[in-house]
Structure 1
Amino acid sequence: MSEPDWIDVATPDVHLRALSWGPEDAPIALCLHGFPDTAHGWRKVAPLLVAAGWRVVAPFMRGYAPSSTSTDGSYHVGALMDDALRVLEAAGPTGRDVLIGHDWGAIAGAGLAAMPDSPFQKAVLMSVPPADTFRPLGRIPDAGSLIAKLPRQLLRSWYIMYFQLPVLPEHSASFVVPRLWRQWSPSYDAREDVALVRDAIGAPESWRAALGYYRAAIRGSKPPPRYAELHEHWLSPLHVPTLYLHGADDGCMSADYTKWVEPALPPGSRAEIVQLAGHFMQLDRPADVARLITEFIGSGN
């Protein structure tokens, strides 16, 4: 497959750059990456989606070079949603477009799939359950089993609390990134991807931006007014038919949570556990992931 093209999108807050595979007249599969990853993380799945008739557009999320950092310091979910919508508009929406999000891309994707007027026909969310799955706790079936899993999950999520500390996290990129890849996808040789991540968020200002995603979410700060309306959706129930995928060997979050995700999805949705896959399933099991996605979204032709 030929090298991807580039799409440049200037917004009032950031300059976004996106990779684009496939013909420009095909419906778009907008692929949003997470942490610590880059748009290059879709390079193995993209050719398989293009072969099924889709155009894959994968932006580097704000703060991840070659996209710029935020001029107003916003790394709220509403800002990520706005970026995705602007990239879709720049790429040329077709009315048949779908969203595919992994990790932070799945968090932003859940917000986009919750919009009553979402421009996406279907969504695929990977590795991080939609926030609405666990809200409110009183409505969740078998809540006791879910609560029993929390202590182990807190240990797995050590990095989130670590990122809230002052000063120290800013100097930890070289330690944190390879450790998380080893922990989250233990059977995958991540050396190439760790190097790509270093290029994207190795600079101090970019690393602070990556930390900013977690700080904005945990500290509950308000987004700038331009993102406030979109930001309200990320904790809401999904409206768009959604495929939820989780790797059986995910070291970031247990695949066991999938049993709570599926009942919370809208009609026409389903959830699947990808066997032998870690957190970065689009890289360690690309054929399986692409097959499940194309079975759900259908052909782009």
Structure 2
Amino acid sequence: MELVCPAGTPAALRTAVDAGADTVYCGFRNETNARNFPGLNFSLKELHQGIEYAAERGAKVLVAVNTFAQAGNTDLWRKAVDDVANSNAHAIILADLGMLDYAAQAQPDLRVHLSVQAAAANADMINYYATEFGVKRVVLPRVLTVQEIEKINAEITCETEVFIFGGLCVMAEGRCALSSYCTGKSPNINGVCSPPGSVKYEDQGDYLESTLEGITINQYPKGEAAAYPTLCKGRFESLGETGYVFEDPVSLNAAHLLPQLQKAGVTALKIEGRQRGKAYMAKVVKSFRQAVDAVASGTSVDLDAILAPLTEGQKSTKGSYQKTWR
């Protein structure tokens, strides 16, 4: 299976490639990609340099243009599609129907992958995208069991890519009304969930308080690991009890499920985390390189001790791959 790894910066791209990534995905330094954080992402020149660096070492680069174009203002997104087509990137990752149509019409030779932001979660949807827009691979949303993925793969004509490590989203893959309502910026249009400029951490003596645009997200007692303040992972009072109402601050870790995902017909395994630093990238990519190689050879490796400190809140879950409900 292909190991697909994130790169939020040119340095992270080089780190991922050197650590054993088969493929690296990145985005431009603007609102066309869903990780539009200050200090991250690529200029066009940096993209070309990154593609060259990866190619020299046998790796591929995917470019995420995976936000939804603004009504009546699509020039930035169309330019991004054209820029990817004119680079040596292996493929573009798209979500917006209009941009999928534009790519099919204006850049018919460009290989297209369907972003998880499109939330295509059944065979009919996936086959529609493959037939109408020539999509070669779909990134499946993180709501499916391994058994459901296997059934989908038996009924579709394109490849599937699934997430195996990193952040989770309780919304329909980033379509977050909570963050939009609180900050005025939509993750799927502006490319930022909980913009850093809206985030504050304040020491209140007995606890650390995190807020987003003035709204208290969490209060951490001394010694408790603090998560990034997103509303979906906030700790609130509901029906007289205080807890994580929407989602616990944990990371997806499907390392133990790689043999099952291979049996289910998955083509590519995706690590989340374009906002992560080089040290994180080196450890995670190198670990999963070992795990994927072990599966290919019919053996296995235990990554728990290595990956546990790298998870959000130092906690992990298999997510919907093995659904349990509380």
**Shared fold by TM > 0.5?**
no
Larger RCO (CA within 8 A; separation ≥ 6) = 1
| Higher relative helix content | 1
TM-score by length of 1: 0.31
Normalised by the length of structure 2, the TM-score is 0.30
Q: Which has more radius of gyration?
A: 2
